[in-house]
Amino acid sequence: MSEFNTNEMMTVAAARRLGNGSVCFVGIGLPSKAANLARLTHAPEVVLIYESGPIGAKPSVLPLSIGDGELAETADTVVPTGEIFRYWLQGGRIDVGFLGAAQVDKYGNINTTVIGDYHAPKVRLPGAGGAPEIAGSAKKVLIILKQGHRTFVDKLAFITSVGHGEGGDHRKQLGLPGEGPVAIITDLCIMEPEAGTNEFIVTSLHPGVTREQVIENTGWHIRFADNVTTTEAPTATELAALRDLEARTAAAHGQAGGEE
């Protein structure tokens, strides 16, 4: 059970960032996998909210989309989407927004819209959904995605969801509440915003990962904190819970879920 892969390390590291009892607005995919792992391990009282209206969702398998019936069936209650955004999110009641991304930059801004020119894109991505509002209004934001030159870019083709804008106090200048992104968790490391600049720097390397690997897989001149730590490896309990969740999801849907 002590052996684990990079995807498992990423999911476990992200799950650990959710505190027990926190109210979390969850994105589909990797964020949902990490959030539900937290619920199944150290944070049984975490309140998971999805864009379609479920509050306190406790799915036994990972949802295919925000419209998956598993979310509504296992929720404490279901409310209209408008209430989710206006009362819960914009009302300041969301502790953590948990988001994925197609691309991210050094200030935690996210692109889920297009790759290439907006009017003639190379790739048309799924789009914004509720991510701009989550990124803008949640008290804190966590971002999870696999690391590579195509995903960690120096300049986004399109800013779908604002993180720290142009860095420094730009987010505050824009009038956005909350702290914005507080961590980017990848399959290689954990990044956190540097005090003052709000540029994301590496604060923790996952076991076996080198600085050179992180540099090679980052599209900007990535910097490292003065005291970079090593991420604690997944425990047997965490791995068992994650693998059981993936197995149940695969049996239900034919896929493990959260693999994008």
- Does 133 participate in catalysis according to the annotation? no
Which listed residue (8, 51, 70, 238) is catalytic?
51
The residue count for the chain: 260
> Which residue type sits at 93?
R
Question: Would you say 108 and 96 are in contact if contact means Cβ atoms under 8 Å apart?
Answer: no
CB-based burial, 40-66: b 16+ in 10 Å, e otherwise: bbbbeebbbbbbbbbbebbbebbbbeb
Residues sharing a CB contact under 8 Å with residue 249, sequence separation 6 or more, in sequence order: 61, 62, 255, 256, 257
Q: CB atoms < 10 A from the CB of 180, how many?
A: 26
Which residues are catalytically annotated? Answer: 51
